[in-house]
Each structure stands twice: as structure tokens, then as C-alpha cells.
């Protein structure tokens, strides 16, 4: 793994990840069972467009999403206090092959990482009652483990006035093998598309 030191959402961060598939979007390449996603082609073309033009697609951001982003630093501090650990913030992590990457919300020691979510209260309650890694983030968390080579990830959901939900996730090596195989094919297709258009 190569780590690029930059603040997340800074111009340097956007440039570091330009045209690369990233863990938060791996669900658009593969499903939770490792089969191809129906969103794969659309994401492939989006990555090609960003790589070729340098213009990133502006995503929709609701008030709830902005609120979650605003609470991220607080939730990181609360996690660190509860776990009595140091959480090192990280910019962008690039896979050993240099073809895809991830932006975990923190690195813990030499073998852990942190993925924070700050959802609305009703969503957080669902996480608490389920006690499982939400399927919406399965590919992201395992993608971060793959990119960083870390041994575990803490998925932490925070919502004010409710108990924290912290789940330690160990790598599902079977899924990661499928994910990495699909990423190789995705990146090869991405390179071919970009070569045809330059």
C-alpha cells in the first residue's frame, strides 16, 4: 500500500484518486456475493470520463449526508476515547498495484482501520438491532482491508443520544479474492477505453 498524505476532500485528495475505482464505489463493481453489479458499466464510464477530462462528477448531497460529514471528527474522537487508542487520519491509500484505492476514516496501530458512519437516528437503530455489518458497506470495508492489507476494521456508527454501534470485521478472504479479480478486469477495461479515446 502507498499512502498519500492529504486531507480528505481536498484538491490533492481528488487528484490522487482521479479516475481510479475507490472502495466506497466497489459496490458498483461487485455485489456482496462477488458477482458483477448491474451498475458496473456506468461506473466504468464515469471513471473513464474523470480520467480523460479531469472533471469529477458532482454527487448529490442531502442535508442528512452533510450532517453526517460534519459529525465525523466528533465520532472519531468518541471512538478513540472509548477504545483508548490513537486513530491516525489518512488521506488516500493506493493498492500495491496502483490501480485502485481507498480512504479509510483512520488507521489504528499497525493492523487495524476505522470506517465511520454518522447516519440518521432511524438508520442507526437498524444497525444496532441487526448487529451485523450493513450490506451497503460490505464491499467498502472489505475493499479498505484489501487495499491497506490491514488485519481488521472497526465499523463504527454514531448517532447522538443513542449507543454507539461498533463492529470488528475481519477480512472475508473468499470475497476479497473475487473483488480483486473483478478489479483487475475492471481496470483493464478502463485502460482500454481510455486508450481508444486518446
Residue 41 — pLDDT band, cuts 50, 70, 90? very high
Condensed to tens digits (0 to 9), the pLDDT of residues 144-177 reads 999 999 999 999 999 999 999 999 999 999 999 9
pLDDT at site 66: 76
Confidence at residue 138, expressed as pLDDT on a 0 to 100 scale: 98
DSSP-based three-state secondary structure for 42:
helix
Q: How confident is the model at residue 119 (pLDDT cuts 50, 70, 90)?
A: very high
Q: What pLDDT shows up at residue 65?
A: 63
Cell numbers representing residue 89 in the block: 487520519
CATH number of 2-196: 3.90.320.10
Structure confidence at residue 59 (pLDDT): 61
The per-residue pLDDT for range 50-70, each reduced to its tens digit, is 999 999 876 656 666 677 677
- Of 61 and 41, the one with more pLDDT: 41
Q: Where are the domains of the chain?
A: 2-196
Which set of grid coordinates corresponds to residue 97? 498495484
Q: The whole model's pTM is what?
A: 0.94
The whole-number pLDDT of residue 31 equals 98
Show the beta-strand stretches assigned E in 100-143: 101-102, 106-108, 112-117
Cell numbers that stand for 94 in this block: 493506493
Answer whether residue 104 shows pLDDT above 90: yes
C-alpha cell at 60: 448529490
Query: Can you give the pLDDT at residue 169?
Result: 98
**Lowest-confidence pick of 52-61, 97-106, 174-183:** 52-61
Reading the block at residue 133, the C-alpha cell is 455489518
Say what the pLDDT of residue 69 is: 73
Residue 99 has pLDDT above 80, yes or no: yes
Is the predicted pLDDT of residue 109 greater than 70, yes or no? yes
Q: Average pLDDT for residues 131-136, to the nearest whole number?
A: 98
Quick check: 46 pLDDT over 70? yes
Cell numbers linked to 125: 437503530
Amino acid at each position: 500500500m502507498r499512502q498519500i498524505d492529504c486531507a480528505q476532500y481536498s484538491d490533492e485528495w481528488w487528484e490522487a484518486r482521479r479516475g481510479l475505482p475507490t472502495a466506497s464505489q466497489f459496490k458498483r463493481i461487485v455485489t456482496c456475493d462477488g458477482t458483477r453489479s448491474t451498475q458496473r458499466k456506468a461506473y466504468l464510464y464515469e471513471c473513464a470520463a474523470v480520467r480523460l477530462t479531469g472533471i469529477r462528477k458532482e454527487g448529490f448531497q442531502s442535508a442528512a449526508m452533510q450532517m453526517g460529514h460534519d459529525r465525523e471528527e466528533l465520532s472519531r474522537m468518541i471512538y478513540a476515547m472509548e477504545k483508548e487508542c490513537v486513530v491516525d487520519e489518512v488521506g488516500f491509500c493506493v493498492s500495491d498495484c496502483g490501480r485502485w484505492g481507498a480512504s479509510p476514516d483512520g488507521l489504528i496501530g499497525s493492523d487495524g482501520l476505522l470506517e465511520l458512519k454518522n447516519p440518521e437516528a432511524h438508520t442507526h437503530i437498524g444497525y444496532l438491532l441487526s448487529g451485523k455489518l450493513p450490506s451497503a458497506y460490505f464491499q467498502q470495508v472489505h475493499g479498505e482491508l484489501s487495499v491497506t492489507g490491514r488485519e481488521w476494521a472497526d465499523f463504527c456508527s454514531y448517532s447522538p443520544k443513542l449507543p454507539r454501534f461498533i463492529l470488528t470485521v475481519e477480512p472475508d478472504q473468499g470475497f476479497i479474492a473475487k473483488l480483486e479479480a473483478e478489479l483487475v478486469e475492471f481496470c483493464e477495461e478502463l485502460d482500454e477505453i481510455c486508450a481508444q479515446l486518446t
